[in-house]
Amino acid sequence: MIALLKAAFLGIVQGLTEFLPVSSSGHLILVRDLLGWEMLADAHLNKVFDVSLHAGTFFALVAYFWHDIVRLVSAFAVSLGRGIKGDADRQIAWLIVVGTIPGAVAGVLLESIIENTLGAPMLVAAQLIVFALLLYAADRWSRRIRDLGQAGWADGILVGLAQALALAPGVSRSGITITTGLALGMKRQVAARFSFLLSIPIVGGTAAYSFLRLLKDHVAMPPGSGGMFLVGMLAAAVSGYLCIKYFLGYLQRRSLSPFVIYRLGFGLLLLGYYGLIR
Q: Which pLDDT score, from 0 to 100, does residue 217 have? A: 63
Selected residue with higher pLDDT from 118 and 75 = 75
Alpha helices, H only, the chain:
2-19, 24-35, 43-64, 66-82, 88-109, 111-116, 121-141, 153-165, 173-183, 188-216, 226-251, 257-272
Q: Which pLDDT score, from 0 to 100, does residue 43 have? A: 62
Residue type, 173: R
Domain range list for the chain = 2-277
Q: Which pLDDT score, from 0 to 100, does residue 223 have? A: 60
Q: What is the pTM of this model?
A: 0.92
User: What is the arithmetic mean of pLDDT over 224-247?
Assistant: 90
Q: Which pLDDT score, from 0 to 100, does residue 218 have? A: 60
Bridge partners, residue 186, by sequence:
146
With cut-offs at 50, 70 and 90, classify the pLDDT of residue 39.
low
Instruction: Kindly report the average pLDDT of the chain as a whole number.
Output: 88
pLDDT in tens, 181-220: 999 999 999 999 999 999 999 989 888 877 777 666 666 6
36: Cβ contacts below 8 Å, ≥ 6 apart: none
Task: For residues 162 and 182, give the distance between their C-alpha atoms in angstroms, rounded to a whole number.
Answer: 12
Task: For residues 81 and 267, give the distance between their C-alpha atoms in angstroms, rounded to a whole number.
Answer: 49
Q: Which pLDDT score, from 0 to 100, does residue 31 have? A: 84
